Amino acid sequence: MSKSVRCTVENRQRVQRAARALRETVPTVLVETTPPVRSEHDAWTLDAVLRDTDGVPPEVLRELALADLTLQPTPSQAGHQHLVATALKDLATGLCLSMLCTNIWLVVGFGIWRLLVDGLLFGTHDRETPHPVGSQKN
């Protein structure tokens, strides 16, 4: 499976997971998912209308964050809150993950190097223990 197909599948799954969570979490009028070819955002899109609310409730923001979706600005309409969230992070996620892995390897590599240097410098000979002031060394 190519990387672009895998990202598309992962994005679809993230959007569908968030849609299920919204249906279970808050009162909704409508929750639907839209593939990139039909979305004006050119990405997997979650489109929802929340019932009896002004603004986006914290539990909805939490579900969108857990699914790693980006909330798009939309106006509320007559007691209902319309929200659109997209899975736009294909490139950014790939870059962030590769940078994170590189950073982890650098830290681990430095730690191993430091252990080797400390072991070589200080492990092969005895350190002189400081004595209290005025006492004699035997």
Residue 25 reports pLDDT greater than 70: yes
Query: Which tens digits make up the pLDDT trace of 74-118?
Result: 876 777 888 999 997 554 444 444 445 555 555 555 556 566 656
Q: In 3D, which of 96, 80, 83 has the Cα closest to residue 18?
A: 83
**pTM, whole model, 2 decimals?**
0.60
93: number of Cβ within 10 Å: 15
DSSP single-letter state for residue 135: P
Using a 10 angstrom Cβ sphere, with 0-12 exposed, 13-18 middle and 19 or more buried, the burial of residue 114 is: exposed
**CA distance readout (Å), 48 to 10, 54, 71, 122:** 20, 14, 11, 64
CATH code 3.30.980 for 3-88 = yes
The residue extents of the domains of the chain are 3-88, 90-125
